Structure 1
Amino acid sequence: MAMTKRNGKNDTIILNTIEELIPQDHDVRMLDNCIDWSFIYPLVENLYSDVGRPSIDPVVLFKMIFINIIFGIGSMRKTCKEIQVNLAYRWFLGISMDEKVPNYSTWSQNYIRRYSNSEVFEKIFDQILKQAISYGFVDMETVYGDSTHQKANANKNKYTDEEVEIMKKIYENDLLDEINRDREEHGKKPIKKNEKEELNFDEETGKLKRDIQTKHIKISKTDSESGCFHKGEKEKCFAYSHQTFCDRNGFVLASVCVAGNVHDSVSFFSAYKVLNDKYMDQIKNVCLDAGYITPAICKTVLENGQKMYAPYKRPMTKKGYYKKYEYVYDEGYDCYLCPNNKVLSYSTTNKLGYKEYKSNPKDCENCPLRGRCTSSKNFQKVVTRHVWEEYREEVMD
């Protein structure tokens, strides 16, 4: 067979329509068939004026985002260029061969000026998820929660060290009420709500002043909303944390983005609230990573009538020493028994919500098991138990 060699460019005029050129099994056809995109128009109607020149079709602008993500293009600037030469993308957007594709500047300015401070993206997300639920694609019975970190586009060496106020956790007021109930039951004085504030003497005014608890954190000069993240062997960087819940089929049900220096057990509550505000009646089981096994999280999930499942978490005990579960709690007498059958009696309930149980130093001083129990100089073993510990124990059973 003779070799064929093309000379120059082929300028043949294509008489076929775009509809005929797009394969029937192409992803854009499936995407267009499974979602009714007309729901976007009423969601964005209040963001447009009734006067002035015609705007770019808002459905086109949002479909461009789907092309960017689904086909893994990454850069929105590159996406605009790809649409210009890709017939399948043009068909999906409804842009003809001789029609101009919105450039990156047009897309970005619409995003910045019109959509960035609105809730339209969340509404679109909810509407698409609602369509998926109506088709039976989503299984709400069991949800799975975890977080993932995304590196911010910020130089890790360019930052300022700033002092910021320590924000209260969402459950702190309820925890303080529980602490005070427990302290009163044991004849202790309640902890005041402002006890976390320290009183200092101001030499300039000659008066006492209250100092709110603060901490020092690194603030990126490039992206101040990100947070400095460093975990294990991972590279230290500025990042964001995405707390996400999904079903067993991989459909994302709720997602909240926070700074990368926020612990998973803290960001959980905001994402969990978003999830329950929409689907609480449908959710029966919540599966989480071991890092979420805290008394506050266990209490929150169980009190919502949902079962919580989490993997076994190895006790963080010094090697060679007894594990906490080897000290038996007696609920009737509200005390602990050590491996040598000595009593650790209730001492106090601290402001973090932990009840402290302490041994008698005389029992420990000559105890043959002391080397595996405690290394304290006053010969006293202390075991702590959270006021909401029963919720954590129910999850772990």
Structure 2
Amino acid sequence: MQGKKLFLDKEVVRFRLSERVPPHNLYRRLAGVVDWSFLYAETQALYSHTGQPSLDPVVFFKLVLVGRLENLVSDRRLVEHCALRLDILYFLGYEVDEELPWHSTVSRTRQRLPAVVFERLFDHVFAQCVARGLVAGDTQAVDSAPVKANASLEAVREKQAAGPAGPHLSGREETPAVGSVVTAPAHQLRQLATGQRRRQGAQTGALGARHEQARLLSNKTHYSPTDPDARISVKPGKVRALNFLCSLAVDTAHGVISHVQADLADGRDSLHLPQLLTGLQQRLRANELPLRELLADAGYANGSNYALLEAAQITAWIPVFGQYKAEIDGFTYDAPRDVYHCRAGKVLSFRKYDARADGTWQKIYWATCSDCQQCPLKSTCVPGAKRKQLTRTIYDAAYRRAWQRQQTRRGQRLRRVRQGTVEPVFGHLLPHYGLRRLNVRGLAGAHKTMLLTAVAYNLKKLLKYRPQRQLSLAVALPRPLLAVNTRACRRNRRTETPTWAIVTRIRRSTFT
């Protein structure tokens, strides 16, 4: 007989939420792996002793972590999704008939809580990863990736010209408020406009019709009134967009994120390494872990970074930037004397330091005029000058040591280790942990979101980790004496295996 299910939608009298969530559920296990009570002490000073009760800080952090784990960017969709899941309600501590907080309450709480509380949560989870043996600490891989800001590129505005003493936005000055007018020096805007017109040119068609010129956008001439901290950036193969930069440090032992920070996306990666190194060393030092080696790509190659890492006694496995040349054709460097020798055997001595236009310093070497004037190779070496001059960076020695490490077999192996450690982490965070686009504004909000994403990633690492120990034992029985009955031995060989050939090997895998 054909069956037919009827839905009565009746009211259930006996119902317990904990009985409906199995023990192997992700959120049930997550509720017990972390002691969330420390958040009350961290946030107690932020609330008044009078007034209406606020949203429970533990509930707030659990709620936003669910958004990272479920790959939800919108707070409104997050609350709607949590109301339909029994396991998430159990994780949050809410009953089935209990109303969840409004999405606007979640947004306002995120804005009001300082980034220090989010960092405390990250440190707490990282310390648990260290206690379980997931972090070695001695070798860290560093990389960065752009994250889309909560602003549209179509809404950017041109900066207004400011007078000689007028305010303008440059360098590390304080970012203006949302909706305010950003200014820049008038002479700088004029130079940029002239250069853009020169590059753009006057394009005319076959019939003399003028084509519509492209809109050239730059951080020096344009800004976003919605999010002034967002920066226009572009990577090869990707469109130009308003982004923030997510910088990560990942431990090479099991891929646990050891540091995360949000940076402005209009600078090179090498500019953010000192701040990243400071935060990373503090966290590792707090967990009694030494940092010995740092792996990064060529975007972090910088003379000051090499010198900084050497001063901290950290081996930098960072490939030298492509424009640097360790050797100069036709010249030999004498490191103890700090001089160069040319093909004719003449000496180019160090003469002075000089500052470049970008503020970096360089060393100047040159030979004497008498040596070059009488040299038979002058027509091919310096045909239009009085003497030969060489320019090197003041960090040339650090560059040279990094270049030599790069050529070794260990350097090639660690390059593959870096690619297999930090790049897969970004491959998970961006599409699967709600980091494809930010739902907050400002550099502080981006930093909080990236911290929560890293916490969610480390929590999954903590839940999946199962340390495996293998025990091998070989047991061999003694060989029998030679003075035995030959007939007995022959009968023993026909019936059973000789005693001296019995070897038992036991393997046991223990999971904790």
TM-score w.r.t. the length of structure 2 is 0.60
How many aligned positions are there? 338
Q: Which has the higher contact order (CA 8 A, sep 6+)?
A: 2
1:15 is matched with: 14
Q: What is the deviation of 1:217?
A: 4.8
Give the structure 2 partner of residue 391 of structure 1.
Answer: 398
Q: Does 1:156 align with 2:153?
A: yes
Does the CA contact (< 8 Å) of 2:123 and 2:283 recur in 1?
Answer: no
Q: Are the equivalent residues in 2 in contact too, given 1:344–1:358 (CA < 8 A)?
A: yes
Q: Name the counterpart of 1:34.
A: 33
Contact (CA 8 Å) 1:308, 1:395: kept in 2 or not?
yes
Amino acid at match of 2:74: S
> Contact 1:241–1:262 at 8 Å: present in 2 too?
no
For residue 399 of structure 2, what is the amino acid of its counterpart? R
2:93 is the counterpart of 1:85: no
Match for 2:275: what amino acid?
A: S
2-structure distance, mates of 1:78, 1:347: 66
Between the aligned partners of 1:312 and 1:159, the Cα distance in structure 2 is: 38
- Once the two structures are superposed, the pairs formed by residues 99-138 of structure 1 within 5 Å of their partners are 99-112=98-111, 114-115=112-113, 117=114, 119-138=116-135
Closer, same or farther: CA 325–378 of 1 in aligned 2, 3 Å:
closer
Task: Report which stretch shifted further, 322-331 or 276-285.
Answer: 322-331
Alpha carbons 1:160, 1:221 under 8 Å: kept: no
Q: Does residue 306 in structure 1 map to residue 304 in structure 2?
A: no
Rg larger for: 2
Secondary structure of the 2:239 match is coil
Deviation, 1:74, is: 2.3
Q: Kindly indicate whether residue 259 of structure 2 is the aligned counterpart of residue 259 of structure 1.
A: no
Whole-angstrom CA distance in 2 between matches of 1:4 and 1:141: 64
Change (3 A) 1:66 1:166: closer
| 2:153 alignment partner, SS class | coil
Counterpart pick for 1:222 among 202, 220, 226: 226
Contact 1:242 1:257 in 2 (8 A): yes
- Counterparts of residues 277-292 of structure 1 (less than 5 Å): 277-280=282-285, 282-292=290-300
Q: Secondary structure at the match of 2:133?
A: coil
* C-alpha separation in 2, matches of 1:222 and 1:96: 39
Distance 1:256 1:340, change over 3 A: farther
**Deviations along 1:188-225, whole A, 9 cap, x unmatched?**
xxxxxxxxxxxxxxxxxxxxxxxxxxx93532222101
Which residue of structure 1 lines up, in the alignment, with residue 471 of structure 2? none
- Supply the distance in 2 between the matched residues of 1:74 and 1:330 (Cα, whole angstroms): 58
Instruction: State the partner residue of 2:43.
Output: 44
Per the TM alignment, residue 38 of structure 1 is displaced from its structure 2 partner at its CA by: 1.0
Alpha-carbon distance in 2 for matches of 1:144, 1:83: 35
Structure 1 Cα separation of the partners of residues 246 and 62 of structure 2: 23
Name stretches of at least 5 consecutive residues in structure 1 with no aligned partner.
169-214
The equivalent of 1:171 in structure 2 is none
- Percent identity of paired positions between Structure 1 and Structure 2: 23
Distance 1:253 1:279 in 2: 8
Offset of residue 101 of structure 1: 0.8
SS of equivalent residue, structure 1 residue 60: helix
Offset, 1:316:
5.7
The separation in 2 between residues aligned to 1:53 and 1:349, in whole angstroms, is: 65
From 358, 366, 375, the counterpart of 2:379: 366
User: Residue 150 of structure 1 contacts residue 240 of structure 1 at CA under 8 Å; is this kept in 2?
Assistant: yes
User: Cα offset for 1:46?
Assistant: 0.8
CA distance in structure 2 between the partners assigned to 1:277 and 1:90 by the alignment: 36
Q: Does 1:348 align with 2:352?
A: yes
Q: 2:320–2:399: 8 Å Cα contact kept in structure 1? A: no
3-state SS of paired residue (1:127): helix
Cα distance, 1:302 vs structure 2: 1.3
Whole-Å Cα distance in 2 between the matches of residues 327 and 103 of structure 1? Answer: 71
Question: For the structure 1 residues 326 and 165, does the alpha-carbon distance in structure 2 shift closer, same or farther, using more than 3 Å as the test?
Answer: farther
Contact 2:158–2:223 (Cα < 8 Å) also in 1: yes
CA distance in 2, matches of 1:324, 1:20: 74
Which whole-Å CA distance do the structure 1 matches of 2:63 and 2:77 have between them?
11
The alignment partner of 1:53 has SS state of coil
Change (3 A) 1:118 1:150: closer
Residue 164 of structure 1 contacts residue 216 of structure 1 at CA under 8 Å; is this kept in 2? no
Q: Is the 8 A contact 2:353 2:361 kept in 1?
A: yes
* Aligned-partner SS, 2:295: strand
Q: CA distance change for structure 1 residues 144 and 9 in 2, over 3 Å: closer, same or farther? A: farther
CA gap of 1:98–1:337, structure 2 versus 1, over 3 A, is same
- Single out whichever of 61-70 and 307-316 deviates more from structure 2: 307-316
Mapped partners of 2:221, 2:303: distance in 1? 27
Q: CA deviation at 1:332?
A: 3.6
How big is each residue's C-alpha offset from its partner over 1:252-290, in whole Å with a ceiling of 9 and x where there is no partner?
Answer: 222221211022111111111112233246211111212
**2:245 is the alignment partner of 1:241:** yes
Q: Is the 8 A contact 2:301 2:320 kept in 1?
A: no
- 2:83 equivalent to 1:97: no
How many angstroms apart in 1 are the aligned matches of 2:88 and 2:276?
34
User: How far does residue 87 in structure 1 lie from its aligned partner after superposition?
Assistant: 0.4
